[in-house]
Structure 1
Amino acid sequence: LPQEIIELISKKITIYADYLRFRCVCRTWNSPVPKIPLHLPPQLPWLMLSPNSFFNLSTNKIHRVNLPIPFGPTRICGSSHGWLVVLNYTPELSLLNPITRATISLPSLQTFPNLVADLCDYKHDNLYLIKVVLSSSPSLSDDDFVVFAILNLKEFVFCKKGYDSWVRLRVRENHYRWTDAVYKNGSFYVTSMNGQIAVCDIEGSQVFLHENISISHYFISMCYTVLAGEDMLLVKQSDDMRSTVTGFAVFKMNWNVLEWEEIQTLGEYSLFIGKNSS
């Protein structure tokens, strides 16, 4: 086929798995088609069942992928922009792309205070490394990306590719429990269990607190922060006294008045929430 026809067909594909199959047909079809497509719509996430198994929500099929996970005690402690966050017993972090098998080493957490003795032990799953978020996909940003982490529910750190150590963002002493973060407009927005917001300016190494924002809900067990277009949403999960999930409430941030406003519909969006990634 002529190159322009191959390119035209590739741009009609809407599912990433089909795009990969298209590139694998033959060398002639592979060369004119970008390795990383930019035209695809947002894809449904894959649910990771084990270090080598993923459930595809689009096809209801399980895919087995042989990942280059380091030998020894290791766990997957999060994902962001399609990259897995891998933690080993050192304790050292790395990013792993399950499709391309590319890996990026990150600075060790060994130098931070109050370090849990064995971060790979699932008993310590929520005690220290709370969340890891990327500013953008390393595959698309030419290594110009930031890795942001919440430690111990109260500390913020970040690094860039090539850093030898993590940089701590100073947050004045507070009693908030910071649990989730998203990247928006050049800053990381961190949310607490009660809805407070900390805006982390990486370039200026500053943190701005919005403390007069809160949401009163009884028996909150977890909250998640997600972006829906330009809107920042907060999802509150409520449990009863027996730790049984009783429901969810979704709030949208009104930046004009700095208030979380409860919404009853998501419109054209679907939310996928989880402790490691939303």
Structure 2
Amino acid sequence: MTSIQWADLPKELLEMIGKRLDSRMDTLRFRAVCTSWTSSVSLPSSDQEIPPLIPNIPGPISYAPLFFQTTICRMDHVRKDPSSSSSSKSWLVKVGESNYGKLKLFNPLTNQEIKNSPMALNLLEFKFVELSKAFSLKSPRVYSVDGINKAVLFRVSANSSDENEFGILAIFHEVELAYWKNGAESWIILGGDENVQYDDITVCNERVYVVDRCGTVSWISPVLNVTQYYPSLYCFGGQKDLVECCGDLYVVDRYLEGERRRWVGIDGSDDQILPNEGFTPTHAPKAIDFRVYKMDEDWGKWIEVKSLDDKVFVLGMDCSFSVSCKEFNGVKGNCIYYMDGDDYAGSGLGGGSIHVFQLQDRSIHKLAVIPEFSEIFWPQSKVSSV
């Protein structure tokens, strides 16, 4: 019997398979197999696709940034022999697309491209399970724009029939909340209190939430009102992060060894916010402790969480999220992965830039000195591990 090559499958059959793919990630993986598969299935349209070039952001930054979207995934190694008794292996990766529609893998915390990725092996041996989305605005030179903390996609009205009626919510200059509607020529600054400094923004149960430096959590209504949703935490850490876990919203309060950095102009004034060329961080303090809080819906108050059980929190620059260590063979839970401000400002980011906070003993270590916690990430130096 003559064997049939994958590339020789009838186009009609490939089109039928393509219509049954569950996600855009599956479609990208399908298209990456070979040229004939790429031409047989087109990328699905998405109401979350926006132009890559966005109007100038508020403030003195004078260029229009580029919009990037990536996907946080669990990458599973598919065993060739289903009868094998050996356990499967999974890693946490960030997946993006190249200009040619090919998949590119990144470390979900450092954003470093994984050069020795499994894409150099056989893509058919791996599958991807989507966990979260990450969005970022970057300069035309594809550098991160200083002062843009987080960005999320946002629908203006859930009842709108216009598929293009969406935009971006972002935190600028580490204090301001702004919105850009798809097709608009400028951004809109939200919130009327100049004393509010926003730390983080995220999506939970299809709602957009923000948290300020004092621990007040608010949600953004479909008409762009910033409404306090929960009572203030009144916690005393220097930086707040929002994390969705199992449908619940958590606040991670990061205690710092000193004051947060300030935006300082070239002339030394605090009221002049400048781009990379004129930005000077006066201090980027390291984290020395963490506190985790969850809303008790029955009592309407925040409670401190002493243990995350099997959960892992990942506090990324462009996306914070949670995963269960049960989904990653051999991975330890009840911890927080993060990076300090100085790590992002440095060069040559790698596993040594990642820190791990363990809730059990409240210890902090660099990932490089506790290798048992590094199993969740793709091994940078070993391709043969799979």
**TM above 0.5:** yes
The answer to whether structure 1 residue 200 and structure 2 residue 220 are counterparts is yes
TM-score if structure 1 supplies the norm length?
0.57
Structure 1 residues 249, 190: closer, same or farther in 2, change over 3 A?
A: same
Structure 1 segment 124-139 matched on structure 2, within 5 A: 125-126=146-147, 129-135=148-154
Q: How does 1:1-278 map to 2 (within 5 A)?
A: 1=9, 3=13, 7=17, 20=28, 22-30=30-38, 35=43, 42-43=73-74, 44-46=92-94, 55-56=106-107, 62-63=114-115, 81-87=133-139, 125-126=146-147, 129-135=148-154, 143-171=164-192, 173=193, 175-185=195-205, 187-201=207-221, 203-210=222-229, 212-217=231-236, 220-240=237-257, 243-267=285-309, 269-278=311-320
Letter in 2 for 1:151: F
Whose Rg is larger? Answer: 2
Q: Once the 2 structures are TM-superposed, how far is the Cα of residue 162 of structure 1 from its aligned partner?
A: 0.5
Residues 6 and 29 in structure 1, CA contact (< 8 A), matched pair in contact too: no
The structure that is helix-richer by fraction is: 2
Distance 1:154 1:209, change over 3 A: farther
Is the 1:180–1:224 contact (alpha carbons within 8 Å) kept by the matching residues of 2? yes
2:243 counterpart letter in structure 1:
V
Rounded to whole Å, the distance in 1 between the matches of 2:107 and 2:229 is: 38
Number of residue pairs matched? 213
Residue of structure 2 equivalent to 1:99: none
Larger relative contact order (Cα-Cα within 8 Å, sequence gap ≥ 6): 2
- The residue identity in structure 1 corresponding to 2:308 is L
- Following TM superposition, by how much is the alpha carbon of 1:148 offset from its aligned partner in structure 2, in angstroms? 0.5
The verdict on how the C-alpha distance between 1:167 and 1:36 changes in structure 2, with shifts beyond 3 A counting, is: same
Worse overlay, 239-248 or 182-191:
239-248
Distance 1:174 1:213, change over 3 A: farther
Aligned-partner Cα distance in 2 for 1:87–1:258: 42
Deviation sequence 1:157-200 (CA, Å, 0-9, x none): 212210112223243x3643211111245542110123101222
Partner Cα distance (1:205, 1:22) in 2: 38
How far apart are residue 46 of structure 1 and its match? 3.2
Could you tell me whether the CA contact under 8 Å between 1:178 and 1:193 is conserved in 2? yes
Q: Secondary structure at the match of 1:150?
A: strand
How far off its partner does 1:273 sit? 0.6
Unmatched segments (≥5 aa) in structure 2: 1-8, 47-70, 75-91, 97-103, 117-131, 156-161, 260-284, 321-386
Given the superposition, is the C-alpha separation of residues 82 and 32 from structure 1 closer, same or farther in structure 2, using an over 3 Å criterion?
A: farther
Larger relative strand fraction:
1
Q: Letter of the aligned partner of 1:7 in structure 2?
A: I
Could you tell me how far 1:56 is from its partner in structure 2? Answer: 4.1
TM-score (norm 2): 0.43
| Amino acid aligned to 2:293 | F
Q: CA deviation at 1:267?
A: 4.8
* Counterpart secondary structure, 2:308: coil
1: CA distance between counterparts of 2:163 and 2:305? Answer: 37
